[in-house]
Amino acid sequence: MRRLLILGLACALTTPLAQARAIPDPTQRHAPGNEELQKPIAEAGYSVGVNYQLQCAGCHLGNGMGSAANDTPRMTGFVGNFLKVPGGREFLVRVPGMSQSALNNAQLADLLNWLMREDGMAGKSRPADYQPYSADEVAALRAKTMLNLPGTRAELISKMRSQGIAIEDGMSN
């Protein structure tokens, strides 16, 4: 009886494995429409809005509202304030989600400029003297790794507070 129980248990545990195909079928074809390799995002030619959805919305959400629960600040109506303090312009490029994104330098500059539009995420937080980012500027800033994201951000928030800028980014600090 004991042997029969053990044999039955072994069969039950191995049956799903025997039915699963561990080695891909070399004769299987791609699904229609997927015959070509996918182009890298930097070569795909997507619009800036699509690039935002692909590179930023996973954390900052589609509307830029972020999530304090996930330690992701709100950009909507606030992100332009970084350009009002020394080091803030550089910070936005060097945030790991930006600097390490799959976008090329021109696409990243376009995305940052899109975020800074008065009718975009920055809204009224955009400084009056805003200067658009260029691909060359982004390339130079991207090459410098930010080693202390929380500390750098805290310093910038402190500078904003000293200028009387209301910190309305949805974070506790």
> Which residues of the chain, if any, have pLDDT below 70?
11-24, 172-173
In a domain, 63, yes or no: yes
Helices (H), the chain: 2-19, 41-44, 48-55, 57-60, 88-94, 96-99, 105-115, 135-142, 149-162
pLDDT of the residue at 15: 60
pLDDT of the residue at 59: 84
CB 152 within 8 A of CB 91: yes
For the four alpha carbons of 106, 111, 116 and 120, in that order, the dihedral sign comes to positive
- Amino acid in the structure at residue 4: L
In a domain, 62, yes or no: yes
- The CATH number of whichever domain residue 142 belongs to comes to 1.10.760.10
In a domain, 138, yes or no: yes
In a domain, 24, yes or no: no
In a domain, 37, yes or no: no
Q: Please give the residue range of the domain that contains residue 152.
A: 46-162
Q: What are phi and psi of 5, to 5 degrees?
A: -65, -45
In a domain, 39, yes or no: no
Domain count, the chain: 1
In a domain, 40, yes or no: no
Distance between CA 92 and CA 83 in Å, rounded?
9
In a domain, 171, yes or no: no
